[in-house]
Amino acid sequence: MMPSLDIAATGMQAQTTNVDTISNNIANMTTTGYKRRRAEFQDLIYQDVRRVGTMSSDTGDLVPAGAQIGLGVRTAGIYRINEQGTLEQTSNALDMAIQGPGYFQVTLPSGEYAYTRDGTFSLSEDGTIVTADGYPLSPNITLPNNAENITVDQSGQVQYTISGQTQAQVAGQIQLGIFQNENGLAAMGQNLFTQTTSSGDAILGTPQAQGYGLIQQGFIEESSVNVVTEITDLITAQRAYEMNSKVITASDEMLQTLTNLK
């Protein structure tokens, strides 16, 4: 069995992962708050044909380079590129975009917390600010049914007025969560993430404080996917896959030649 068959197979598998990652990016090119992913790869262990540093003669001469044959490639990780997406104006009072670091904290039906960059909020039947799936913003912020002129300042304070009154009322304060390792967050779909031991616990704070982004009312954060970049990466991954398949074809033909020797 020729090692090149296994080596090329790992290359094809790696490029399959690469294409899967790129296709997910393209599929989410219009998903609010989506951060593009990038697959990272590592070479596998090496087989020593001639170990570097060994003696090549009785006089103590050392092999300067040696001979190592790599055994392929593996996926090391798929990382989120946490760059700021473009802000799109919607003029919807309950649409909010985070400009800078931080995540909105929401409460799941299980009582656990999840985190999101998707600031597309609306009101529930009782006036609570919720996500598109009905998960309430945490801490809860509830508006009366006669609330008018809802405003959210850059520091996350939610205010409203009531018909016939000019004095604004404070409904609540939005908090943002930041993490020591954002890439350690576990994606659960629905534009939500949960914290893990790798991400560390959420560090909650007020928007616009040091280390936290600010809130832009009436905006949403667009996906950070660049279609031109993704298509270029897709073509590169496709070519790499094809080249690995050619290695398998060439190795198979070499084996057939060896088998036919008499």
Give the chain's end-to-end CA distance (angstroms, integer).
18
Provide the number of structural domains found in the chain.
2
Containing structural domain, residue 8? 3-82+225-260
Same domain, 62 and 100: no
| 169-191: pLDDT as tens digits | 999 999 999 999 999 999 999 99
- Cβ distance 193 to 116 under 8 Å? yes
Same domain, 197 and 144: yes
User: CB atoms < 10 A from the CB of 90, how many?
Assistant: 16
Same domain, 144 and 195: yes
Same domain, 141 and 164: yes
Same domain, 211 and 93: yes
pTM (two decimals): 0.86
User: Quick check: 1 pLDDT over 70?
Assistant: no
Q: How far, CA to CA in Å, does 163 sit from each of 124, 168, 213, 243?
A: 21, 11, 32, 69
Same domain, 135 and 213: yes
| 120-139: pLDDT as tens digits | 999 999 999 999 999 999 99
User: What's the pLDDT score for residue 57?
Assistant: 66
Same domain, 27 and 104: no
pLDDT averaged over the chain? 92
Same domain, 55 and 141: no
User: What's the pLDDT score for residue 262?
Assistant: 59
CA distance 11 to 242: 10
Q: Which range (50-59, 92-101, 141-150) has the least confidence?
A: 50-59
